[in-house]
């Protein structure tokens, strides 16, 4: 059995500004992407990225992204969730947009926003620790014993019921 080692998120994350709620670690949500900054983020990181690291995003909750890229970035919440983009679905009708399926990994705190255009990128500090779970599978003998016990109990329970 290997030793448990913490998983680290990158120290710099592109920020996906969402207005559809809060993503929590361990949960999965679908979110729509239709603003200029978020579209640019999806196109340059998720569609052209070739590594697992390129699919990790920082999700900032309840932050409406301005409709125009020319507008300034709104004040950001300082705490967000690092997320893994599991699926990207896009359409050009009636206007370009994407739908992302993202899974929360851990919480982070924004240390500093490094750039705002074409999409925000921030230096972040990981708040939660993700652990790689050790292999906790029981041995084959233990599983066999459990299976036999389950079968015995199932037979006993089915004996309580009369089936015509």
Q: Pick the residue with more confidence: 129 or 29?
A: 29
Query: What tokens appear for 155 in the block?
Result: 């037979």
Res 4: pLDDT: 44
Averaged over 68-87, what is the pLDDT?
85
Indicate the average pLDDT of the chain: 83
User: Is the model's pLDDT at 24 over the cut of 80?
Assistant: yes
Residues 130, 51: Cα–Cα separation, whole Å: 20
What are 20's two structure tokens?
């559809």
Query: What does the alpha-carbon distance between residue 155 and residue 59 come to, in Å, rounded to a whole number?
Result: 50
Find the mean pLDDT for residues 86-95: 89
Q: Is the pLDDT of residue 159 over 70?
A: no
Length of the chain in residues, anyone?
164
**Does residue 89 register a pLDDT over 60?**
yes
User: Residue 101: its pLDDT value, please?
Assistant: 95
Query: Is the distance from CB of 81 to CB of 104 less than 8 angstroms?
Result: yes
Enumerate the domain spans of the chain.
Answer: 7-129
* pLDDT for 139: 66
CATH of domain 7-129: 2.30.130.40
Q: Are 80 and 37 in contact (CB under 8 A)?
A: no
């Amino acid at each position: 059995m290997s030793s448990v080692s913490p998983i680290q998120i990158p120290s710099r994350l592109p920020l996906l500004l969402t207005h559809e709620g809060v993503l929590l670690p361990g949960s999965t949500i679908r979110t729509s992407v239709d603003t200029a900054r978020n579209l640019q983020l999806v196109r340059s990181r998720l569609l052209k990225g070739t590594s697992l690291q390129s699919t990790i995003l920082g999700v900032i909750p309840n932050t409406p992204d301005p409709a125009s890229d020319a507008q300034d970035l709104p004040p950001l919440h300082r705490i967000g969730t690092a997320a893994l983009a599991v699926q990207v679905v896009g359409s050009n009708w009636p206007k370009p947009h994407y739908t992302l399926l993202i899974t929360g990994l851990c919480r982070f705190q924004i240390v500093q926003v490094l750039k705002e255009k074409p999409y925000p990128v921030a230096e972040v500090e990981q708040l939660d620790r993700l652990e790689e779970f050790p292999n906790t599978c029981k041995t084959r003998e233990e599983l066999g014993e459990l299976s036999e016990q389950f079968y015995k109990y199932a037979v006993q329970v089915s004996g309580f019921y009369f089936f015509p």
